[in-house]
């Protein structure tokens, strides 16, 4: 037991360093100017790339566009996932397996293969290179993930609670507002977070369907990196980490306050 405790105290600092060190290096690169090997520290510092974000430049606009896409994808994925996951959870036999396989397909297919198929569909709908087309492309894998998640949630859900509420005279709206939503508060928040994260760092689908016209943050980071603009690429990479961390923290806080025993 003593050896296990010692190993834990050794591994935990190493894990913390491995998680923080890359972010620290990105932060240094994002504010450095003319920093070349073998110099250990940048000779001069600049906030140029961060000012671009604050003043609504390329990085700032791309950040907002990615945020819009991720929020919309998360919300729509939850709506689809709740409906489909609930229906699949109440099925049995081959129907349940076939539905689960259909939901898992866009998750399992490589993004490039999925993107090519979606690009043809989006072009046929006349949405190629548009925000709506990219949103539709992000929604396909996000809905698959969220559907599988809610299928698991509803597999352990007690539908007798809803039957009891109907017996007591609850209308559909009252049933939704007073029974279903309070019971599913945490799964809904987690489902939204899952859909949000699927969209947030999406690169292949955005590039194929958007045709380079829908400039999201991952696309800008990719472009700056290939152009040798390390300072802007590092700033964009740091921005990519902000919403996931904040969203996880907010969901944790909201769920903890809404339950009798905070998690």
CB 190 within 8 A of CB 251: yes
For residue 261, name the pLDDT band (cuts at 50, 70, 90): very low
3-state secondary structure of 33: strand
| Per-residue pLDDT tens digits for 167-177 | 877 777 878 87
pLDDT digits over 2-52, tens only?
Answer: 556 666 777 777 777 777 778 888 888 888 887 777 777 777 888 888 888
Band of the pLDDT at 154, cuts 50, 70, 90?
confident
pTM above 0.95, yes or no: no
Question: With 60 as the cut, is the pLDDT of residue 257 above it?
Answer: no
Residue 226 has pLDDT above 70, yes or no: yes
Q: What was the pLDDT predicted at 134?
A: 92
For residue range 176-215, what is the model confidence (pLDDT) as tens digits? 878 888 888 888 888 998 999 999 988 888 888 888 888 9
- CB 202 within 8 Å of CB 190: no
Residue 95 CA from chain centroid, whole number: 29
Find out whether 77 and 195 touch, Cβ atoms under 8 Å: yes
Residues 39-67 as b/e (b if ≥16 CB within 10 A, e otherwise) read: eeebeeeeeebbebbeeeebbbbbbebbb
DSSP annotation of 43: S
| Lowest-pLDDT choice from 109-123, 144-158, 181-195, 213-227 | 109-123
């Amino acid at each position: 037991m003593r050896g296990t405790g010692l190993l834990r105290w050794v591994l935990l600092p190493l894990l913390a360093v491995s998680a923080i060190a890359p972010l620290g290096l990105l932060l240094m690169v994002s504010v450095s100017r003319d920093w070349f090997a073998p110099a250990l520290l940048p000779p001069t510092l600049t906030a140029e790339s961060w000012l671009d974000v604050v003043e609504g430049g390329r990085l700032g606009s791309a950040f907002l566009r990615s945020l819009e896409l991720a929020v919309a994808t998360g919300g729509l994925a939850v709506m689809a996932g709740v409906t489909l996951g609930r229906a699949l959870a109440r099925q049995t036999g081959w129907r349940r397996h076939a539905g689960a396989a259909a939901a898992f397909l866009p998750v399992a297919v490589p993004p490039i293969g999925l993107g090519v198929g979606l690009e043809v569909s989006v072009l046929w709908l006349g949405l190629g290179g548009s925000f709506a087309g990219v949103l539709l492309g992000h929604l396909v894998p996000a809905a698959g993930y969220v559907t599988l998640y809610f299928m698991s949630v509803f597999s352990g859900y007690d539908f007798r609670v809803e039957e009891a509420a109907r017996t007591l005279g609850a209308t559909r709206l009252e049933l939704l507002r007073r029974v279903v939503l309070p019971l599913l508060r945490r799964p809904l928040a987690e489902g939204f977070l899952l859909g949000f994260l699927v969209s947030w760092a999406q690169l292949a689908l955005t590039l194929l369907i958007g045709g380079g016209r829908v400039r999201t943050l991952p696309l800008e980071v990719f472009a700056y990196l290939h152009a040798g603009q390390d300072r802007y690429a590092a700033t964009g990479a740091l921005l990519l980490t902000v919403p996931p961390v904040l969203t996880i923290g907010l969901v944790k806080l909201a769920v903890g306050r809404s339950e009798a025993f905070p998690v």
